[in-house]
Chain A
Amino acid sequence: MEQVKAATKDAEKNGVLGHGLHHPFHTMFEDVFEDLPWHLKEQSEQAIRERRIKWPEWSEPAKEA
């Protein structure tokens, strides 16, 4: 039981739904296709712009900065 609890806590360090957004936003658009078409590039940029407005305190991974 203790092992399960420890594993749960460890996993939750990556983020818990409802407690904020933990994954880089650009990952939302990856793997829809092998390559990113123009409209998903535009939407990815929009998502990152929205993130800066909604969560200005969120640290920016190098790829999104």
Chain B
Amino acid sequence: MIEEAPVSLADAPTRRLNMIEAINDALDIMMERDPNVVVMGEDVGYFGGVFRATAGLQKKYGKTRVFDTPISECGIIGVAVGMGAYGLRPVPEIQFADYIYPGLDQLVSEAARLRYRSAGEFVAPLTVRSPFGGGIFGGQTHSQSPEALFTHVAGLKTVVPSTPHDAKGLLIAAIEDNDPVIFFEPKRIYNGPFNGYYDKPVEPWNKHPDSVVPEGYYSIPLGKARIVRPGQAFTVLAYGTMVHVAAAVCAEKQVDAEIIDLRTLVPLDIETIEASVEKTGKCLIVHEATRTGGFGAELSALVQERCFYHLEAPIERVTGFDTPYPHSLEWAYFPGPVRIGEAVDRLMKA
């Protein structure tokens, strides 16, 4: 590992990147800095990843550090756990979050517990990258948001970036972390922020302020949320794609909402959440995943437990429906402007 002080972000030269480019940049920087970082997964090597997140890395770092694997998610994660236990810092890619289930046993039974089981003698410092979420007409096998399966597991950290700037800084922090991190990349916003209006032209990232990414190394600590917009009317808790959709709805309705991008689900920045809800007295939770047992339920419970005497209205929870991700009815399933807008209206009337 190269020891060097991170550059001051204020002074660092910047360039505009989309989220894919930012992730590629983070991987490149960490592979350059730390020879123990290895990238592995289906099509990540020669092809550079189905979304191009690993493009050029094999050519630059060779086939022993960036390599293609068989189509075996269980094998990918299992090998990564072993590599991590013996000193490497693997960054396996699961091509779509929908494919992660065959690797679940290795993640839950091995990666998540290795430190605990060995009293700290062995660790699993792997970062599992995986595109997740819908909005790309991917149907039920390319659209799921299974983050709650992982937030439920003791020993796993779960990260969901919502901008190129954060994707780079959070991925670097995840790779440097000595515990296993599930790094879910909202693929709907790989190439541009999405406001929920699927029938309108998509804005590219290069028009968004958060596409300005510092060059070189920097990290964003895991467990620290970002206040996207300060406000007084109510608190919005969201992550990934839904940060942009919720922000667009609040802007359209001209409500003074405080929008919090959680960035990291575990560990959760509970201090920022508490301070915000205590100030606003109302809370709207938005996620794309199915509702029952979703991470929104955990957020709702925490807010109720810790901010009950500050609440002026019932907590609102806007989510996907409890169905498999439907193909032709994708935009009926997606928690878009109408569903969020109704919740906003209820909070404003309360």
Contacts and interface: CB of A to CB of B under 8 A. Distances in A.
A43 B317 CA distance: 13
A46 B319 CA distance: 12
Given A18-B137, A28-B332, A28-B333, 20 more contacts: A17-B327, A17-B328, A21-B329, A22-B328, A27-B329, A28-B321, A28-B329, A29-B321, A29-B323, A32-B322, A40-B322, A40-B323, A43-B321, A43-B322, A43-B323, A46-B321, A47-B321, A50-B338, A53-B338, A54-B338
A23 B338 contact: no
Interface in A35-63: 39-40, 43, 46-47, 50-51, 53-54
Interface in A6-34: 15, 17-18, 21-23, 25, 27-29, 32
What is the interface of chain B mostly: helix, strand, loop, or mixed? loop
Contact of A51 (B292, B326, B327, B332): B332
Contacts of A23: 328-329
A46 B320 CA distance: 11
Interface of A: 15, 17-18, 21-23, 25, 27-29, 32, 39-40, 43, 46-47, 50-51, 53-54
A29 B292 CA distance: 14
Interface in B299-350: 321-324, 326-333, 338-339
Query: For the side of the interface on B, what is the size category?
Result: 10 to 19
A46 B334 CA distance: 12
Given A29-B323, A43-B321, A17 B137 contact: yes
B34 to A, nearest CB: 43
A46 B339 contact: yes
A36 to B, nearest CB: 11
